[in-house]
Amino acid sequence: MKFGLATTIAAAAIAASSLAAQAEEVRLKIASAYPLSLVQLGSLAKNLETNLNTASSGDIQVKLFEPNALVPALEIFDAVANGSVDAGWAAPGFWQTKEPVLGIVSSIPFGPGAGEYLAWLFYGGGQDFLDRAYEKHNIHSELCGILAPEAAGWFREEITSVDQFKGMKMRIFGLGGKVMQKLGVDTQLLGGGDVFPALERGTIDAAEFSMPAIDLKLGFYQVAKHYYFPGWHQQSTMLDFIINKNKWDAMSDSQQNLIKMACRANIATGLAEGEAIQGAAIAELKEKGAIVHIWPQDMLDVFEASWIEVVAEESAADTEFKAAWESLSAFREEYKNWGDVGFLK
């Protein structure tokens, strides 16, 4: 009996091994929206590439490409959708002009911190909105990284009045850009490598890009000295790994699960690293001449009032945006029962 059971188990293991060997190897060329040399924005993508290549023992083979190497950064969505590029690395908010709801699952003005945001996305229904939006375009998405709070931006002049925003040209990402438009700003979405030259040439007057450790690397302090906090527009930001859905559906369950696990690990890495590196970066930026400012409460009130107007307009224009906003708002109201008592103030 024991011999027979052992033989059966061995046969099953051999059969499983054979099926795994027969599974078609997955090869993915990934177009990155961010320079791969950047900490977090690029390094998390490299981390994902390394982990998938090594953990899969060759069953999944991925190769990252710099922005514009396969397609321009802002064309990644369409390229992945039509299959001319296998996969992309960016943030859902890059594509909010195609599906407004993708702004909500990317970063929210006056939104939650990382823990609360992840809770809604993974356990409060947020992921469902992301899935529906992408699947309409033949894309599968895995949330695959999260960033610490961003800075509110670099400005050539100190901001002492909301009137200074009128006519200003500013690079800004996501739904925060719609808030600044309300205040008279001419907003632009530029790729990471294009922001410094635009500031240097005066094509734009101000720019937000990311967190201090990334902004330090890009050298914005050399062309705009006034650095504003907090980043009311992006208290936490999701990154995602998007894959052509035909390519995704052709993968085995084990291949899909490995990608899911690698992305969850990447989120943990991004969260921990992002919190660890900002203090030293701010200190170095100050040494290099950056002038750090904290928005006064009256200015934050102006931003928030404009954000509420944006929410109303976007909700009226798009039913999925409205549903996602209501879902997030309800989750945050319930979360307050915990958030108000569970943490030191």
Q: CA 272, 270, 145: angle at the middle one, nearest 5?
A: 145
Domains and CATH numbers, the chain: 26-148+236-276 (3.40.190.170), 153-234+292-322 (3.40.190.10)
Give the pLDDT of residue 330: 98
List the pLDDT tens digit at each of the 345 positions of the chain. 443 433 433 444 444 444 444 458 999 999 999 999 999 999 999 999 999 999 999 999 999 999 999 999 999 999 999 999 999 999 999 999 999 999 999 999 999 999 999 999 999 999 999 999 999 999 999 999 999 999 999 999 999 999 999 999 999 988 999 999 999 999 988 877 788 889 999 999 999 999 999 999 999 999 999 999 999 999 999 999 999 999 999 999 999 999 999 999 999 999 999 999 999 999 999 999 999 999 999 999 999 999 999 999 999 999 999 999 999 999 999 999 999 999 987
pTM exceeds 0.85, yes or no: yes
Assess contact for 118 and 328: CB atoms under 8 A: no
Q: Are strands 291-294 and 226-229 parallel, antiparallel or unpaired?
A: parallel
pLDDT, residue 191, reads: 74
The confidence score (pLDDT) of residue 23 equals 58
Give the model's pLDDT for residue 5: 36
Q: How far apart are the first and last CA of the chain?
A: 64
Query: What pLDDT does residue 316 have?
Result: 98
CA dist., res. 302 & res. 163, Å (int): 11
Six token digits for residue 78:
């369409």
> What per-residue confidence (pLDDT) applies to 4?
46
Pairing verdict, β 153-155 and 226-229: antiparallel
What's residue 71's pLDDT?
Answer: 96
DSSP string, 54-83: HHTTTSEEEEEE-TTTSS-GGGHHHHHHHT
